[in-house]
Amino acid sequence: MAKIIDGKALAKKIQAEISTEIAALKHRYGRAPGLAVLMVGDNPASAAYVKNKETACHKVGIASFGKHFHQSITQAELELIIDELNNDDRVDGILIQLPLPEHLDAIALINRLEPTKDADGLHPNNLGKLVRGEPGLRSCTPAGVMALLAESQIDIEGKNAVVIGRSILVGKPIALMLLEANATVTIIHSRTKNIKEITRQADILIAAIGKPEVITSDMIKPDTVVIDVGINRINDHEGKSRLVGDVDYSNVSEIASHITPVPGGVGPMTVTMLLKNTLWAYKSKFF
């Protein structure tokens, strides 16, 4: 059986470190770091994510400047709010909760963020720094994956890493981070042929496509490290709702060397990296 990579445990450890550091810095600089999460509409999944982020902020001592807006808010109104937050010295990080309603241009709003306050690492300036291997704010979920691999002492250098999914949120940035760690990286997407042949070459497999349990045991070789980024809500044969990943956990875990569960794997690390990014942005103002 695969060794379970416990995201909850690592998140708790890192958040404790963040809390201790914030307490010392707040005493020195007279204020805590501040994070503003912007949410539009009443998407239940987004609401749950935002609540988790605000709770985590409170736990570690980050001031929360979250703003929830009605579905009807306009692009121009949101841009003005972002401008205000860009100029607010109490706010070190800004995150736009995705997805947004169709009438809003998410890319334009992200591009309007002050790059040094881009808490999710999605501004072109921060993605460019990732490409160049320069220090900067990193996309939260991919950064969480890398932290899990490091904590589990997974040797990345020289390994074949296969990333399933090419989104700007996860697939592309995690591929760049793995490349930076000297892995040989292959990205699989909807137009890829011979997918099973490619996945069975993976020493490290990152599943990030948002389709429930599509990665099956015949798609991996023995002792593969499997990181499941997917979070999908399904109904079982009794009609009860539950969360599953992109990986068929029960069968794949019998073959893999390491595996992340869903829930309790990558998810807690995404929130934790958001806190870490906010702290990094705060510290960059002072030293």
Q: Is 233 annotated as a binding residue?
A: no
Do 233 and 185 share a structural domain?
yes
CATH number of the structural domain spanning residue 75: 3.40.50.10860
198 within some domain: yes
Do 158 and 82 share a structural domain?
no
Do 153 and 109 share a structural domain?
no
What is the predicted pLDDT for the residue at 36? 97
Catalytic, 120? Answer: yes
The torsion region of residue 213 among left (phi > 0), alpha (psi -120 to 50) and beta comes to left
Q: Is 31 annotated as a binding residue?
A: no
Q: Which of 6, 15, 97, 117 is catalytic?
A: 97
The CA distance from 150 to 259, in Å, is 14
What is the predicted pLDDT for the residue at 46? 86
Burial environment of residue 130 by CB neighbours within 10 A (0 to 12, 13 to 18, 19 or more): buried
Do 255 and 178 share a structural domain?
yes
What is the predicted pLDDT for the residue at 49? 87
10 within some domain: no
The structure tokens listed for 101 are 């309603």
What is the predicted pLDDT for the residue at 241? 87
Do 170 and 80 share a structural domain?
no
Catalytic, 6? Answer: no
Q: Which of 108, 37, 41, 31 is nearest to 285 (CA)?
A: 31
Edge-to-edge strand ranges of the sheet holding 160-164? 3-4, 258-259, 225-228, 204-207, 160-164, 184-188
Catalytic, 97? Answer: yes
Q: Which of 6, 15, 53, 172 is catalytic?
A: 53
199 within some domain: yes
Beta bridge partner(s), residue 144: none
Domain that holds residue 54: 28-115
pTM score over 0.85: yes
3-state DSSP: the chain helix, strand, coil percent, rounded to 5? 45, 15, 40
Cβ-based neighbours of 187, under 8 Å, separated by 6 or more: 162, 163, 165, 166, 171, 172, 175
Residue for token pair 């490409």: 131
Integer angstrom CA distances of residue 204 from 36, 121, 220 = 34, 24, 10
The structure tokens listed for 63 are 């001031």
Q: Which of 6, 92, 118, 120 is catalytic?
A: 120
What is the predicted pLDDT for the residue at 236? 79
Per-residue pLDDT of the chain (287 residues; tens, 9 = 90+): 999 999 999 999 999 999 999 999 999 999 999 999 999 998 888 888 899 999 999 999 999 998 999 999 999 999 999 999 999 999 999 999 999 999 999 999 999 999 999 999 999 999 999 999 999 999 999 999 999 999 999 999 999 999 999 999 999 999 999 999 999 999 999 999 999 999 999 999 999 999 999 999 999 999 999 999 999 989 877 888 889 999 999 999 999 999 999 999 999 999 999 999 999 999 999 88
Q: Is 166 annotated as a binding residue?
A: yes
Beta bridge partner(s), residue 206: 163, 227
* Structural domain count, the chain: 2
CATH number of the structural domain spanning residue 233: 3.40.50.720
